[in-house]
């Protein structure tokens, strides 16, 4: 999967979890939880949605890689073949 596809997928899943998110306002390096006021449950919903969408395991030790938009995009692009 290339970076653009991973970005599009992550934007879609973020929008499902937090519909008020404007994709144009995403700070690629900012903390996703703080930037969009995503609580722990929303974060788990995001990880679960990506797991289901791509069929990739996302173990808890990898969660810190989802702290920022760019980190999550890189993770997805790396894991989805």
Residues 29-43: pLDDT tens digits? 999 888 888 899 999
C-alpha span between 75 and 52 (Å, rounded) = 15
Give me the pLDDT at residue 40, please: 92
Contact 6, 80 (CB under 8 A): yes
Structural domain contains residue 38: yes
Structural domain contains residue 61: yes
Neighbouring CB atoms inside 10 A of 12's CB total 13
Check residues 61 and 26 and name the one with the higher pLDDT.
61
Neighbouring CB atoms inside 10 A of 19's CB total 7
Give me the pLDDT at residue 20, please: 85
Q: Name the residue range of residue 70's domain.
A: 3-22+32-79
Domains contained in the chain, number = 1
What predicted TM-score, i.e. pTM, was given to this entire model?
Answer: 0.89
Give me the pLDDT at residue 57, please: 94
What are 41's two structure tokens? 């449950």
Residues 53-71: pLDDT tens digits? 999 999 999 999 999 999 9
Find the length of the chain. Answer: 81
C-alpha span between 53 and 34 (Å, rounded) = 24
């Amino acid at each position: 999967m290339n970076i653009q596809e991973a970005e599009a997928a992550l934007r879609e899943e973020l929008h499902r979890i937090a519909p008020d998110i404007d994709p144009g306002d995403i700070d690629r390096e900012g903390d996703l939880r703080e930037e969009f006021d995503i609580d722990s449950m929303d974060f788990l919903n995001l990880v679960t949605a990506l797991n289901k969408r791509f069929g990739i395991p996302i173990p808890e030790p990898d969660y810190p890689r989802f702290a920022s938009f760019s980190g999550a995009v890189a993770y997805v692009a790396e894991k989805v073949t």
